[in-house]
Structures are given as structure tokens and as C-alpha cells.
Structure 1
Amino acid sequence: MNTPIQASLTHLLAPHGVMRVAINLGNPVLARLDASGEPSGISADLSRRLAKQLGLSIEWRVFKKADESVQCVRSDAADIGFFAIDPVRGEGLHFSPPYVQIEGAYMVRNDSPLQNNDEVDQAGHRVTAGAGSAYDLFLTRHLKHATIVRAPSSPAVVDMFMAEQLDVAAGVKQQLQADAMRLPGLRLLPGRFMVIHQAMGIPATRSAQAREHLNAFVEEAKRSGWVAEAFVRHQIQGAAVAPPGYPAHD
């Protein structure tokens, strides 16, 4: 049974009496569907952990694109979502501190003259990224000379890169590494071009108490080792538990 404090928090975080959770399947490192069609991965596990603490059941809102998930929470059609922290997305949302850091990388063909990340931003280069993804938002701010070609979603990036003979594909490092193993003649450029700080998010209209509880929930999940254990459980490689607090802006 919830205590009065828990009942108050439950109403503040999920005023409809059920936790409506937006899950984006665009980043398979964090979320996917299991064999039964149920959301799986660290994002789904965090949702279940918070719902259990508040004594709530979950209604899933599943999307293939990050910006669809953002709009769902921003419009208060969901109570919780999972997003890369980005200033463009900040309007209408409250981000928790990040729970995981993921690297963004570039991929090219083996015969590409490009050898380093700082060679990408040149006139005539066409870089593909998933429309509305964290990579798209970041590259839109930072690329001054190259042209961004937006794929319909993050999972469609490599297919568009191949089909349209583009110069560079941008995305989650782990996913690009898997694609490079699956498809011949591809390689990743060394290092990373950005770090994605993945956080939980709630509508900005939620109260200060709700925001504080969400922040504390995420920090406890990191501090207790729960996030690190989730990495092992879901065989997540190439990502890191985020440090305490909020990241600096890019």
C-alpha cells in the first residue's frame, strides 16, 4: 500500500492513475521489442522499476522515431519518456540527469578518402542521419559545410547511405559497428563525433516535486549499481554509466 507521500507523488508523476510510457525503438542499444512484442531493454526496465516503486501499472506508447516519442511526452499523451538531452528538445520537457552515455560515430566505405572525424565537414560531403534524432540535432548545429541528408528514422540510415551512395553515415556507434560487420566494404572513422547523454523526461508542466523525485530516482539507479547491472543483463557494450548530475552543453 502506498504511503500518503507515495500517493501524492504517484498523482504528480502519473495523474491518470497509470504510468503512460513512451518508448523509442530507434536506438536498439536502449530499447527493443522482445519475442512477445513487449518493450525490453534498459529504458523499459527503468520504467518498470519506477512504476513498481509508485505502485502503478504501465501503458506503453511505442514509437520508431525519437521525435515522435518527444512529441508524445511534450503533449502530455505520455507521462515518461527516454531522450537524448538536447537544447532543441528541452522546450516543453524536463530532463532528468542522464543515466547512460552513448557515442555517436561516422561510417564510410572502405575506399572513402576520409580518415578522421574532422575531415567530414567539407563542402560536397553528404552526411545521413535519422530525422529528428540526437545526431541530426547535433549535426544541424555543428556542420557548417557538409550537407545533411535525413533518413526517415535512425534504423533506416545505413540503408539510405548505401542506396543513395552518400559519403558518411552518422549514428549510434554500436549499431554502425554491427552494420559494418553485416555489410561488406564499410568502416567506422576512429573515435566519436559526439557523446549522447540519455535521460528520462517528463512534461514540463509536472510539478517541481515530481521533477525532483524523477531526478533522485535516476541518480539512485546509477549510484546503487542498478544501471551497471542492466548493462550486463542486456549485454550492452560500448556505453557508460553517466556520472552524477547534468552534463555540460555541447
Structure 2
Amino acid sequence: MKIASLLGVLLPLTMSAATAAEDVVTKELTPTGKLRAGLAYAPVKTPVFVTKDASGQVEGVGLDLAKTLARSLGVEVEVFVAATTGELTDASAAGKIDIGFTPVDDERKQRVDFSPPFFIIESTYLVTAASGISTQADVDRPEVTVAGIAGSTTIRAAGRTLKRAKIVALKSVADAMAMMQAGSAQALALSRDAMPALQKTLPGSRVLDGAYQVTGVAMSVPKNKPAALAFVTRFMEKAKTDGTVRRALDAAGLQDLAVAPSAN
């Protein structure tokens, strides 16, 4: 009888604590009642970038992961589309979005918090046929102009490693490719996974071997939201092991890309 009485007291307390914890997650992760998901747009799908179909609807890895997260929270997704991952970091830091999908670097870690990575990117260069560039070292010449995306981890890393080349930060991948196609830039700084599709639009171009940066792509949340961070951390580790990330990559036509290793 004493045990039964004790259980009668403890069970409601346990349930109450669990409900309170869920309420904190909901308050931190979906303060508006919806999951505001920040996604960066580009002409080609990658683990970082989404695209739009003929009707203008967004599709891609980040959206699929956001929808799965939203279902686990019992809410709808509200999509926030930006031209660059830098804009997503700004939006997250300002509390305009609840989650974002971006590569990770030290500068971003100062402004937002991150889940474990779901994909590992290598930053490299796409170079024009007329550039005469064949190695990473060849890029760092005074006569070389490198196009990159403003506010991105790739252009920041290029800035740290290139001492003589001219670096031009542009608003979007499309703007950077236009500069390459016009011959105004000889190299494009971006992640390797984005290169094959872009290379097709630039005859004679080649992707350089090696990488000047290797980092993870992860889900970001605003700072000072520990319950939200803990929740997306658990979500991402589970998503990597239960096939959620794999299905999102496959659906985007990225079957050849590997899911980041689990921390467990």
C-alpha cells in the first residue's frame, strides 16, 4: 500500500515535469506557434541550398529536415528564404527565424548555436578554362579574381588563405556564376558538392583537387535557448541514424553524398 501511495505521488510529479520541459522547448523553438525555418536559395540543390520548382515552391534537404522537425513538435513550417547563408545567420541572431541550415565556422558560433553536423563540406574552387589554374596554390596570384558569396564560410576561409588574389563578395551564387561566365572572375569559391551542376554551365571549367576548408553543415538556433539547442541536437543525431537525413539527400538527387558520422 505504501508503495502504491508513493507511486501515486511520484507519477503525477514526473508527468508534470515532462510537460513543463516540453513547454520550455515549445516556447524556445516555436515562439510564434510555427517553426520558422531559414533556407538559402541557389540555382542547384546541395545539402546547404534549396531550389524552387516551376510553381515557385521551395524544395530541398533543409526543407525536408525542417518539416520532419516540425512534425515532431506538432506545428507547421513557415519558410524564410534568403539568398545567402550569411543572411540566415543574421536572421537567426536577430530572432527572426527559429532554425537555419548553414555551414559552421568560428564566426557563426559566436552569434548562433548549432546542432551536430548532418553533412561535411569541402570548400574548393571552380576555375575557368582560360584561367590556367590547375592547383589550389595557382589561385593565389595577383591577376586572379575569386568570386564568392558574401557572408559565407567559404569566402571567409578563402580570405584567410589567399594573400595575393582579389576576392569579390557577391549577393548570390547566380551573381557569382554570372561573373565567371563573363570572364570577370577566374575562380569561384564554394563547396565541392555544388560544383558538378555549376560546372555544366561553364564549358571547359574544372574543379580543383584538395580543399582549403572542411567543415560541417548543421541546424542553427538563436543563442541563449538551451532547451531548443538540446532538442535539435537530439533530433539531428536521431535523423542521421534513422535514415531521415539519407532520405532528404536522396530526394534532392544527392545520392552520392554521405551523411555526416553520428557522434554516438
* Structure 1 outlier segments of 4+, above 4 Å: none
Q: Secondary structure at the match of 1:184?
A: coil
Q: Letter of the 1:128 partner, please give it.
A: A
1:230 to 242, 248, 258: 248
Q: TM-score, normalised by structure 1?
A: 0.88
2:232 to 214, 218, 228: 214
Using the TM superposition, name which of 118-127 and 92-101 deviates more: 118-127
Structure 1 position 51 matched with structure 2 position 70 = yes
How far apart, in 2, do the equivalents of 1:237 and 1:120 lie? 30
How far apart, in 2, do the equivalents of 1:200 and 1:228 lie? 16
How far apart, in 1, do the equivalents of 2:129 and 2:52 lie? 33
Structure 1 position 67 matched with structure 2 position 83 = no
Encode CA deviations 1:187-244: one digit per residue, 9 max, x unaligned.
22224333341100010021x2221111111111012222122222221155321123
| Cα distance change, pair 16–211 in 1 and its aligned pair in 2 (3 A) | same
The answer to whether the 8 A contact 2:65-2:248 is kept is no
Encode CA deviations 1:35-66: one digit per residue, 9 max, x unaligned.
44332111001111111001111211111122
Aligned twin of 1:135? 154
How far apart, in 2, do the equivalents of 1:228 and 1:153 lie? 27
Structure 1 position 13 matched with structure 2 position 32 = no
2:38 to 22, 27, 32: 22
The answer to whether the 8 A contact 1:98-1:199 is kept is yes
Using the TM superposition, name which of 83-92 and 165-174 deviates more: 165-174
Structure 1 position 178 matched with structure 2 position 194 = no
The answer to whether the 8 A contact 1:130-1:155 is kept is no
Q: Letter of the 2:45 partner, please give it.
A: P
The answer to whether the 8 A contact 1:82-1:200 is kept is yes
How far apart, in 2, do the equivalents of 1:61 and 1:25 lie? 10
Q: Secondary structure at the match of 1:148?
A: strand
Query: Highest CA radius of gyration, 1 or 2?
Result: 2
How far apart, in 2, do the equivalents of 1:146 and 1:193 lie? 14
Q: Letter of the 2:134 partner, please give it.
A: Q
Q: Letter of the 2:77 partner, please give it.
A: I
The answer to whether the 8 A contact 2:89-2:111 is kept is no
Q: TM-score, normalised by structure 2?
A: 0.83
Query: How many angstroms does 1:100 deviate by?
Result: 1.0
Q: Where does structure 2 lack aligned partners over 5 or more consecutive residues?
A: 1-17
CA RMSD of aligned residues (A): 2.1
Query: How many angstroms does 1:73 deviate by?
Result: 1.0
| Cα distance change, pair 238–122 in 1 and its aligned pair in 2 (3 A) | farther
Q: Where does structure 1 lack aligned partners over 5 or more consecutive residues?
A: 246-250
Aligned counterparts, 1:51-200, within 5 A: 51-200=70-219
How far apart, in 2, do the equivalents of 1:40 and 1:181 lie? 21
